[in-house]
A and B are shown apart, each in its own frame.
Chain A
Amino acid sequence: MPFASALRVLIVDDQLTSRLLIRGGLQELGVSDIEMAADGEEGLKAMMSKPAHLVISDFNMPKLDGIGFLKAVRAHEPTRKAAFILLTGRGDKALIERAAKYGVNNYLAKPFTIPALKAQIEAVVGRLK
């Protein structure tokens, strides 16, 4: 079985259009086990009920932002080993450095291309196919 089809991914973003876009990109890469959440709080609930192998999360979100969500994911035993990719604006170096302190695995600059999405995921979880 290709690795992509065994990968469970959680997308966390407050914009539905962004979530659908990332889901579409993941489907292009062969990933089908995808869950979505609209903010960090909702994402944490989803992770606690069924942990994902990989989280792709936006930073700017109401209730619990991307860094707060990352810290919470790393603080809970069932979820702390999940791979975590943060979505950022281009050149957002300070945010990336801050996220690195809390254990982010990689980042994806927006707007993204499918090859960039693939490369950033594979850098964390290995080859998808």
Chain B
Amino acid sequence: MIRTRLAPSAGSESERTVHIIQGEYHVTGDPSVMLTTLLGSCVAACLRDPYAGVGGMNHFLLPGRDTRARRLEAESYGVHLMELLVNGLLREGARRDRLEAKLFGGGRTMEGLADIGAMNADFAERFLANEGITCVGGSLRGDQGRRVQYWPVSGRARQSYLAADKFAPPQSLTRPAIPAGGGTVELF
């Protein structure tokens, strides 16, 4: 089930925070809404139409892709979530040819396993290229989890890297700890 929920604001009094978890998307034209999510190997696509003043975010993880059939099925899930986001924006007055995107996530948060994060990132970039949607920013791949905040009407985005314990791998796959409170980057 795809849905989003509102949470008390962590920012200014008039700002509303919407948390997006895996499998969800949210579209809004409300400038007081900030969308936020936590990402490991998942990817969040942040899309907006700057002229219509609407934007949104989704959050997806493509499951394992050991065979061509499995890859197609995994991508079907990703395409579906991207389509829900795009169609949601179009319903709110956006135009496909004006959409711009920022992509986040796709980190390699567990060593020793297939780089699922990179595959998610590759898929997201390929989707934008196929659909003619310009990617204007973001942060993909790497080896850390991220917290992303996105203001869908202005297009402003902020990312902070997460400490390793936020995405702790199984004991047998433990890797050197990343210093807590990784840097915050204001992207735009």
Taking Cβ atoms with an 8 Å cutoff, the residues of A that contact B are: 15-18, 20-21, 24-25, 28, 60, 62, 89, 110-114
CB-contact partner of A17 in B84, B96, B126, under 8 A:
B126
CB-contact partner of B83 in A18, A112, A114, under 8 A:
A18
Task: Check A111–B76 contact: CB distance below 8 A.
Answer: yes
Task: Check B69–A111 contact: CB distance below 8 A.
Answer: no
| Interface residue B22 (Cβ < 8 Å from any Cβ of A) | no
Task: Check B76–A113 contact: CB distance below 8 A.
Answer: yes
Residue of A nearest to B132 (CB): A16
Task: Check B130–A28 contact: CB distance below 8 A.
Answer: no
Closest CB of chain A to B76's CB: distance in Å? 4
Q: List 12 A-B contacts (CB under 8 A).
A: A15-B79, A15-B130, A15-B131, A16-B131, A17-B126, A20-B130, A21-B76, A25-B76, A110-B76, A110-B83, A112-B73, A113-B76
Closest CB of chain B to A101's CB: distance in Å? 23
In the bound assembly, the distance between CA atoms of A15 and B131 in angstroms comes to 6
| Interface residue B75 (Cβ < 8 Å from any Cβ of A) | yes
CB-contact partner of A21 in B72, B84, B86, B96, under 8 A:
B72
